[in-house]
Chain A
Amino acid sequence: MITFLPRNVLVAAAAALAAGSPAWAQQRSARPPDHGSAVIMVGQEPSTPVPTLLTGSANLAVADLLFLRLARPGKQLVTTDERTFEPELARSWTRRDSLTLVFELDPRARWHDGTRVTSRDVVFTFNRTRDSTVDPQRALLLRSLATIAAEGDRRVVLRFTRAYPEQFYDATFHVRLLPAHLVDTIPPSRFANSRFVREPVGNGPYRWNRREPGQRLELTGNPDFFLGAPKIDRVVFLLVRDVEAALNLLLDGSADLYEAVPPVSGPPRLAANPSLRLVTAPSFSVVYLLFNYRAYGDRSQPHPLLADPEVRRAIAMAIDRRTMIQSTYGGYGTVASAPVAQAHWTFSVVPHEPRYDPNGAAAILRQRGFRDSDGDAVLDRNGVPLSLRLNVPTTSATRMSMATQIQEQLRHIGVRLELVRLDAPVWIQRRGRGEFDLDFSAATMDPTPTGIVQSWSCAGQSGGNAGRFCDPAVDRLVEHAIAASRGADREWRAAYAALQRAVPAVFLVSPQTLVAVHRRYRNVSLRPESLYGELWRWSVDPARRIARDR
């Protein structure tokens, strides 16, 4: 027994700790009954949520609330039809000709320091973004923009070098505005370390409050937001890297939103807390097995087995994608048949190929001369066994799980698959060097389907095309689809069909984003390209308010 402290002291201390109410419970500021707060958990640290420095999903999520674009894609996310876009900082837009777009800024738009948003801000931000030494990624995306000019305080004119269907998307989606009056004196080389990045001044529905590195970032609602003051007027982004810790914070009521709920184990656990519900949103992600067209680690030679498209097709046909989606994603996903995700507007035009047919796969391999000549249950041809190495990142539990299932499914048709489990940096390094037969990849894309050229074209071989797939016929069809005017379903279908015939990969699943949301929120809508971008439209059900809403 502990005897050196009086028992009543211990009891009092325990009671104080158990009952000790946190700060929010002691606040007595009266908020309207449908106002409240939100604690959002993120797995990455949002350290630079500022335009021209944006990388990673957490930075983007915060930037969506701080900095607006001129306009944003409509709910259908059609990137080729400017009529479907919704105004943000631009009140309206017109075309002077096929190369020239004119935007009229909303006169009500203000920076958080009260200064008006003007055309000078637009010109400044676009020019800074187009500087390839500042933001190389976005500079590349804006390469077709020739000039940008201000006409007065509220009108900007963007002129392109060529006419193409996604002009408007490029003019609006890639650039969130920076306040020229605060930033133009900061040299680009010092911007990342500037006070502005530490305490950004935006123009969106939320204002910067504070950041505690490694722990949290806090925003407060902007009561002067020109599109309407947010009712969720206090937002905390909490850095929680461990999934178990995140689920526990949801279950004990400390947090309200979490976007990375594990699809199989998460839902039954969260069902224990009736205050929570699960909301799904389509994602821009696709998970796939990438074939290496070149020999393992030697890009000068074709792959001895996988250079044959029929071998690739047989492997693709032997994999039961539907069953895997059920077992690994708990049904929260859709079969992918091309490098197109469920949220892409072209997803519906993708032909459903290849079908699951292990017998057909085995027949194809027999036709290609593979036999089990030594009785080891592995097919071989000319003494070379049909044995392949699949690189899998150990950081992805879903891919690790699916890899084992795929190994078993391929074993049934006589293909030996060796799983090479790798630490993420090593996995990425080997992928870049071509040290794989198959690579278990995943990609999260922009809303435009044109991103396909980065990884699935001959031109992409110098960049993201790690498998070195190159088919000029596919390139032509993709270019044709990209150049086609709106409603180019037929062209995209033809491009995807050609890609499927080439079998550069086994496209497995487009997972859904599974978000745990507290039930007290009303008007909840989650957008695939900007999950919490509409948070300012949410409100709290007065009947379900909790202590931290008051």
Chain B
Amino acid sequence: MIRWLLRRLLQAAVTFAVAVLLLFVLMRITPGDPLARLTDERAVSEQELRQLRARFGLDQPIATQLRAFLGGLTRGDLGVSIEHYPEPVTSLIAARLPATVLLGGTVLLINFTLGAWLGVRQAVRRGSHFDRWMTRFALAAYAMPSFWLGLMLVAFVSIRWQLLPAAQMTDPLLGPDAGVLTRAIDVLRHLVLPALTLSLTTIALPIRHQRAAMLAAFRLDFVTAARARGLSQRRVLWRHAWRVTLIPLITLLGLWLPLLVTGSVFVEAVFNWPGLGSLAYQAIAARDYPVLLGTAMLVTGAVITAGLLADLGYALADPRVRFERRSAPR
């Protein structure tokens, strides 16, 4: 297993390095000047522009910029934001990451617990009213644009019924001296609508995956044998059939894990959620290379890590999978 892990880690490191290199070069050949926003706000003299270019290293050739970036990377320094000068990129990401992890984590938790459970229930009650209505609901929610659903929820829940806040992650006047419980309740109140929006528009995938996988599992011989041995329905379902369905679910989870750090641009915009999605979007719009690269690296790292974790998850979920040279799940 250790050899397998080392090999996968090496592959992941190479993939990460190639991705970072590509990102670095592609950003710099994309049209648009990162200092454009500054020069648009007011008249900027040539001297000031030279100073600004020198400050961010933009007056250097790409190779020199790359060397400086890699040098900083070894020290954990991703540079300084152009748009948010003088904020270091690491501080900006660190400030936004908790909000993104909270929202993404909540959505993943809902989708892969409630969603999976609903999928199992649908499979068990195949063809029933519950199954048919759940299918309709899941597909209808999946078809809804998240920004539209978010706006509708705000219009009714926040503005008309005044039940929950319309936006933000915390109350604007919540002081730093607020107690843990007050703070937790406040964050929860603000979390409900964005998490619900993201969950409703995405939960169809785990539901449908789980339902299909369970139906396939019910047809397997060992499940039939378990039933024939007189095991209870609950035991057959959760001990035997469900475990087989974990592989496709883990694959899906592996694809979704990066949501923990990528955030959702639309939902973050509608709810003014201070996450990484909106930071990355602003960085793209402003050509803020350091922030863009920092967030892109984080996402790349998350995708690679999620793949690695999914591979590990296969082995834990299915004893037939071994950490061998050709260890594709059978």
Contact = CB atoms under 8 A, between A and B. Distances in A.
Check if A and B associate. yes
B168 interface: yes
B144 to A, nearest CB: 17
Contacts of B117: 4
B92 A214 contact: yes
Interface in A381-418: 395
B182 interface: yes
Interface stretch (A85-93, A132-140, A199-207, A515-523): A132-140
A548 interface: yes
Classify chain B's interface size.
35 or more
Contacts of A444: 41
Nearest to A395: B285
B120 to A, nearest CB: 12
A98 interface: no
B287 interface: yes
Nearest to A24: B173
A192 B178 CA distance: 30
Interface string B33-45: 1101111111111
Given A137-B42, A423-B32, A210 B176 contact: yes
Given A248-B166, A251-B159, A254-B168, A55 B41 contact: yes
Interface string A406-437: 00000000000000000111111100100000
Interface residues of A, number: 66
Contacts of A463: 43-46
B59 interface: no
Interface in B288-319: none
Most chain A CB neighbours (cut-off 10 Å) among B32, B51, B169, B282: B32
A193 B178 contact: no
Contacts of B31: 425-426, 429
B272 A245 contact: yes
Most buried by A among B91, B172, B272: B172
B47 A22 contact: no
A244 B37 contact: no
Interface in A308-334: none
A215 B274 contact: yes
B185 interface: yes
Contacts, number: 177
Interface string A274-302: 00000000000000000000000000000
Contacts of A24: 171, 173-174
Contacts of A37: 173
Nearest to B46: A462
A203 to B, nearest CB: 23
Nearest to A190: B86
Contacts of A428: 33, 36-37, 39-40
A252 B165 contact: yes
A45 B83 CA distance: 9
A17 B269 CA distance: 23
A244 B185 CA distance: 25
Nearest to B276: A214
Most buried by A among B42, B92, B185, B285: B42
A432 B51 CA distance: 18
A234 B173 contact: yes
Interface in B112-165: 114, 117, 151, 154, 158-159, 162-165
Given A245-B270, A429-B32, A464 B43 contact: yes
Contacts of A133: 51
A108 interface: no
A482 to B, nearest CB: 16
Interface stretch (A117-125, A174-182, A235-243): A235-243
A58 to B, nearest CB: 11
Contacts of B185: 16-17, 20
A249 B167 contact: yes
B272 A242 contact: yes
Interface stretch (B186-194, B243-251, B321-329): B186-194
A248 B272 CA distance: 10
A216 interface: yes
A47 to B, nearest CB: 6
A129 interface: no
Given A214-B95, A214-B96, A251-B166, A20 B48 contact: no
A429 B173 contact: no
Interface in B43-67: 43-48, 51
A18 interface: yes
Contacts of A56: 41
A37 B173 CA distance: 9
Nearest to B184: A20
A322 B173 CA distance: 43
| Most chain A CB neighbours (cut-off 10 Å) among B31, B163, B166, B188 | B166
Contacts of A100: none
Q: Which of A132, A244, A426, A427 has the most C-beta atoms of chain B within 10 angstroms of its own C-beta?
A: A244
A69 B46 CA distance: 28
A145 interface: no
Contact of A23 (B37, B48, B186): B186
A248 B224 CA distance: 55
A48 interface: yes
Contacts of B189: 17-18, 20, 22
B40 A244 contact: no
A213 B192 contact: no
Contact of A238 (B43, B172, B175, B278): B172
Contacts of A4: 117
B37 A424 contact: yes
Please provide the 8 A-B residue pairs with the shortest distance between their CB atoms, ordered closest to farther. A425-B32, A428-B36, A22-B171, A136-B48, A464-B43, A248-B166, A192-B86, A252-B166
Interface of B: 31-34, 36-48, 51, 84-87, 91-92, 95-96, 114, 117, 151, 154, 158-159, 162-176, 178, 182, 185-186, 188-189, 192, 269-272, 274, 278-279, 282, 285-287
Given A2-B114, A48-B86, A424-B37, 14 more contacts: A18-B164, A20-B185, A22-B182, A39-B172, A45-B84, A137-B42, A137-B44, A245-B166, A249-B166, A251-B158, A251-B166, A425-B286, A428-B36, A428-B39
